[in-house]
Amino acid sequence: MTIASEILRRTPLHALHLELGGKMVPFAGYEMPVQYPAGILKEHLHTREKAGLFDVSHMGQAFLAGDTAALERVTPADVTGLKEGMQRYGLLLTEAGTIQDDFMFSRLAGEADLYVVVNAGTKEGDFAYIAEKLNGVATLMPRLDRALLALQGPLSEQVLERHSPGISQLTFMKVVRATVAGAPAIISRTGYTGEDGFEISLEGADAERVARALLGESEVLPIGLGARDSLRLEAGLCLYGHDMDETRNPAEANLMWSIGKRRREANDFPGAAATLGAPPAIKRVGILPEGRAPAREGAEIADKQGRIIGKVTSGGFGPSLNAPVAMGYVENAFAADGTAIDLMVRGKALAAVVAPMPFVPNNYRRPKK
Amino acid sequence: MSEVRYTDQHEWIRLDGDEATVGITKYAAEALGDVVFVELPASGKAVKAGGEAAVVESVKAASDIYAPAGGTVTGANAALEKEPSKVNEDPEGQGWFFKMTLTDKGEFAKLMDSAAYAKFVESL
């Protein structure tokens, strides 16, 4: 047994995780459940079939007050153009224009402050960076006391409707203040699984009661971080620190879509010249191994002549696909869908092909036309 | 009359006369989680005690399986290729990995018996 060398933080749902039989592991400085007794495979499949409840309270929630437009100093996303009641995905960029983190930001109806969620592992650095860059014009207020739950899956709407009547009206990427089981919450129709679902931000003190209420519904199972990772990988969603980091710019990371049109034209974000300039030498792509062996993060990618042309940054087994899936970077010449490549796994070259993502179709609840 | 022994890497080895069968224990299968892929050794492969013999992959990670004793692989459980989940369902029976002949039966005798292995697992 290894003794933890650091004190791990706990979310407001810690006791509940133990009660549910969660297998706790260290993640981003927190003790988090990697799986529950059902296991990663069942938890993953259940989420795509019914509804899964995830504790993601370790992520960094904050509010930004003052001249919120100044957030555009550190992100190429269109912040000022974000309409009321909407949430948006953005990249946080270093001064050099490389990716510091990815995050979600929301404009709640009738409110001046922006609501922001950054990744767990980078939150301290992100908050300090934003505060420094916006010093004097905007104030960032981290809310480490808040909890964050994700309810994901095709049945998540009918479940949440029981505890938050009217929430079904929310469509993909909309955000609203509402109550869940009587607790005040910020609810967005978004997630990290590719399925329809909601993220529910709560006061820490309400988290356990709300989680229990949702888990009390027959459609819902608790889901751990293991399945969270396999779900997002099948959905082609990046994991910061793996699929992009501060050595990559948005063009290399294939995340140009997150740069606002106005921002692209204005050329007014860190590293704009490089990002908007010549095509990048390497690019993030989806990868499908042809056999059954997974290729994991770190596996080298070779062309058919054995020359190393890239590296896998995320890889594993996709339970819904019932096949291995991966993401990685390859030289630009090999980035087209259908390009045949080899993945070096345990000294052997395993055939694979560059493939479009998502690997599993998305099920987002778009507004009806 | 067969005998079973265990390693501290959570492999089991059953000796029936001159043929040994190797797999992973319930403890290891549970720790691994759902098995999605198994890489089995080819017949004829020479293995050393403690040497890499197979690879088992769960959703999250790959783990090496070591030969409990030295010898030669005589066959592998092809059923695991189509149904890797057998490792979780019946790790000490139908989820066996490979068969082998032993170079030195003394190596087998030195391994933990089931009582010693049970004590070992308790200590973890």
Residue A224, domain CATH:
3.30.1360.120
Question: Does residue B117 fall inside a structural domain?
Answer: no
Question: Does residue A208 fall inside a structural domain?
Answer: yes
Q: Which of A39, A40, A294 sits opposite B57 (nearest CB)?
A: A294
Shared domain check, A149 and A49: yes
Question: Does residue B84 fall inside a structural domain?
Answer: yes
Q: What is the ipTM of this complex?
A: 0.85
Give the structural domain span for B18.
Answer: 3-110
**Under-50 pLDDT residues of chain A:** 1
Q: Any chain B CB within 8 A of the CB of A41?
A: yes
B102 within 8 A of B15, measured Cβ to Cβ: yes
pLDDT digits (tens, 9 = 90+) for B30-41: 999 999 999 999
- Specify the pTM: 0.93
- The pair of structure tokens assigned to B53 is 């013999």
Question: Does residue A71 fall inside a structural domain?
Answer: no
Max distance between CA atoms of chain B, in angstroms, equals 38
Question: Does residue B121 fall inside a structural domain?
Answer: no
Under an 8 A CB cutoff, do B59 and A226 touch? Answer: yes
Which residue in A56, A44, A39, A57 sits closest to A359, CA to CA?
Answer: A44
- The pair of structure tokens assigned to A84 is 């009321």
> What average pLDDT score do residues B8-15 get?
96
Q: Any chain B CB within 8 A of the CB of A296?
A: yes
Q: According to the model, what pLDDT value does residue B69 have?
A: 96
> Does residue B10 sit in helix, strand or coil?
coil
Under an 8 A CB cutoff, do B59 and A292 touch? Answer: no
A191 within 8 A of A252, measured Cβ to Cβ: no
Under an 8 A CB cutoff, do B59 and A293 touch? Answer: no
Question: Does residue A78 fall inside a structural domain?
Answer: no
Helix (H) or strand (E) holding A360: none
B117 Cβ neighbours under 8 A, 6+ residues apart = B6, B25
Question: Does residue B92 fall inside a structural domain?
Answer: yes
- The pair of structure tokens assigned to B114 is 């089931």
Shared domain check, A174 and A41: yes
Q: Is A258 left (phi over 0), alpha (psi -120 to 50) or beta?
A: alpha
- Distance from C-alpha of A31 to C-alpha of A34, rounded to nearest angstrom: 9
Number of independent structural domains in chain A = 2
Question: Does residue A6 fall inside a structural domain?
Answer: no
Question: Does residue B123 fall inside a structural domain?
Answer: no
Closest-approach residue (CA) in chain B for A229: B60
Q: Is A95 left (phi over 0), alpha (psi -120 to 50) or beta?
A: alpha
pLDDT digits (tens, 9 = 90+) for B43-72: 999 999 999 999 999 988 899 999 999 999
pLDDT digits (tens, 9 = 90+) for A88-113: 999 999 999 999 999 999 999 999 99
Question: Does residue B118 fall inside a structural domain?
Answer: no
Number of independent structural domains in chain B = 1
Q: Which positions in chain B touch A21 (Cβ < 8 Å)?
A: none
> Does residue A159 sit in helix, strand or coil?
helix
Under an 8 A CB cutoff, do A317 and B59 touch? Answer: yes
Q: Which positions in chain A touch B124 (Cβ < 8 Å)?
A: 1
- A280: which DSSP letter? P
Report the C-alpha dihedral over residues B14, B19, B20, B23, rounded to 10 degrees.
-90
Question: Does residue A289 fall inside a structural domain?
Answer: yes
Give the structural domain span for A341.
Answer: 281-355
- Give contacts of B 47-76 with A, CB under 8 A: 55, 57-62
Report the C-alpha dihedral over residues A158, A60, A71, A188, rounded to 10 degrees.
0
Question: Does residue A328 fall inside a structural domain?
Answer: yes
Q: Which residue has tokens 């001249």?
A: A67
The CATH number given to whatever domain includes residue A300 is 2.40.30.110
Provide the shortest C-alpha distance from residue B110 to chain A (in Å). 25
Q: Which of B34, B61, B81 sits opposite A41 (nearest CB)?
A: B34
A367 Cα distance to chain centroid? 22
Q: According to the model, what pLDDT value does residue A1 have?
A: 47
Q: In sequence order, what are the beta bridge partners of A220?
A: A51
What proportions of chain B, in percent to the nearest 5, are helix, strand and coil?
Answer: 25, 40, 40
Which residue in A184, A213, A215 sits closest to A200, CA to CA?
Answer: A184
Shared domain check, A222 and A149: yes
The CATH number given to whatever domain includes residue B97 is 2.40.50.100
Shared domain check, A301 and A198: no
Closest-approach residue (CA) in chain A for B31: A23
